[in-house]
Structure 1
Amino acid sequence: MMRLVATFQLLLWLTAITSAALTGSATLKDFSTLMYEPLSPGSKLDSIPTDYEPHSTFGDSYTDDGPEYYTPEPSENLSNVTSTGGRIWTEYIQQYAGIHLYDYAVSGSFCDRYFSPSSRNGIKQDQVPHFLNDTDYIGNGSLINPWDETIYAIWIGTNDLGPSAFFTDNRPTLTILDYVDCVYEQFDILYEAGARNFMLLNLAPLNYAPMYALPENGGTLGSPFWTDEASYNTNVTQVSEKMRQYVALVNSIYDYRTPTEVQISVRYPKSSFTIFDVHSLLSDIWHNPGAYLNGTAPLNVTSTIEACGSACSNTSARDSYMWWDTLHPSEQTDRIIAQEFVSIVEGNGTWSKTWTSPSA
Structure 2
Amino acid sequence: MRSLILAFINAVVVASARTKRIKAVALFGDSFTDQSRSHAIGNGTWPGKDYQQVYPPADHAATGGFQWPYYLGIYGNYSIHNYAVGGSVCSNEITPVTTVPADISGGQKKWFVEDHVVNGKLQLDPEEFVTVIWGGTNDVGIHSFISNDQRDDVSIADVTDCQLNFIRSMHDIGARRFIVMSMIPLQLTRLYANTDEGTIYWPDMQGRNGSAWHKAAYNYPNTVNRFLKDGVERLNREFHGSGRVEYFNTYSLFEEFYNHPTKYYNGSIPANVTGHCHQCPNPFDWHFCDIGDCTLDQRDSFMWWDELHPSEQTGRNIAAEIKKKIDGKSKY
TM over 0.5: yes
Show the 5 A alignment for 1:124-203: 124-137=105-118, 145-167=124-146, 168-203=148-183
Show the 5 A alignment for 1:59-138: 59-67=29-37, 71=49, 73-74=50-51, 77-78=54-55, 81-114=60-93, 115-116=95-96, 118-120=98-100, 121-137=102-118
1:296 aligns with 2:268: yes
Show the 5 A alignment for 1:198-213: 198-213=178-193
Distance across 1 between alignment mates of 2:185 and 2:211: 15
What is the identity, as a one-letter code, of the residue corresponding to 1:150?
Answer: F
Q: Describe the shift of the 1:290–1:248 C-alpha distance in structure 2 as closer, same or farther (beyond 3 A).
A: same
Q: CA deviation at 1:87?
A: 0.6
CA contact (8 A) 2:18 2:127 kept: no
Distance across 1 between alignment mates of 2:263 and 2:194: 23
1:242 aligns with 2:220: no
Q: Describe the shift of the 1:285–1:238 C-alpha distance in structure 2 as closer, same or farther (beyond 3 A).
A: same
Match of 2:331 among 350, 353, 357: 350
Q: Describe the shift of the 1:238–1:347 C-alpha distance in structure 2 as closer, same or farther (beyond 3 A).
A: same
Hey, what does 1:324 align to over in structure 2? 305
What is the identity, as a one-letter code, of the residue corresponding to 1:283?
Answer: E
Match of 1:56 among 26, 31, 38: 26
Q: Which runs of 5+ in 2 are unaligned?
A: 1-15, 38-45, 280-289
CA contact (8 A) 1:147 1:196 kept: yes
1:232 aligns with 2:213: no
Show the 5 A alignment for 1:231-310: 231-234=206-209, 236-263=210-237, 266-267=238-239, 269-307=241-279, 309-310=291-292
Structure 1 stretches of 4+ with a deviation exceeding 4 A read: 46-50, 67-70
Deviations for 1:332-360, whole angstroms, at most 9, x for unmatched residues?
00000000011112222121xxxxxxxxx
Distance across 1 between alignment mates of 2:255 and 2:327: 23
Indicate the structure with greater helix content: 1
Distance across 1 between alignment mates of 2:177 and 2:261: 32
Deviations for 1:305-350, whole angstroms, at most 9, x for unmatched residues?
1139443232x21111000000000000000000001111222212
TM-score (normalizing by structure 1): 0.75
Hey, what does 2:319 align to over in structure 1? 338
Q: Describe the shift of the 1:342–1:117 C-alpha distance in structure 2 as closer, same or farther (beyond 3 A).
A: closer
SS in 2 for 1:222: coil
Q: Describe the shift of the 1:280–1:331 C-alpha distance in structure 2 as closer, same or farther (beyond 3 A).
A: same
Hey, what does 1:311 align to over in structure 2? 293
Deviations for 1:225-248, whole angstroms, at most 9, x for unmatched residues?
2234x33333x2221111101111
CA contact (8 A) 2:117 2:123 kept: no
CA contact (8 A) 1:51 1:149 kept: yes
Q: Which has the higher contact order (CA 8 A, sep 6+)?
A: 1
Distance across 2 between alignment mates of 1:170 and 1:244: 17
Distance across 2 between alignment mates of 1:70 and 1:106: 12
What is the identity, as a one-letter code, of the residue corresponding to 1:162?
Answer: G
What is the identity, as a one-letter code, of the residue corresponding to 2:330?
Answer: G
Distance across 2 between alignment mates of 1:279 and 1:47: 32
SS in 2 for 1:319: helix
SS in 1 for 2:108: helix
Q: CA deviation at 1:132?
A: 1.0
Aligned residues: 292
Q: CA deviation at 1:77?
A: 3.1
SS in 1 for 2:178: strand
Q: Describe the shift of the 1:272–1:222 C-alpha distance in structure 2 as closer, same or farther (beyond 3 A).
A: same
TM-score (normalizing by structure 2): 0.81
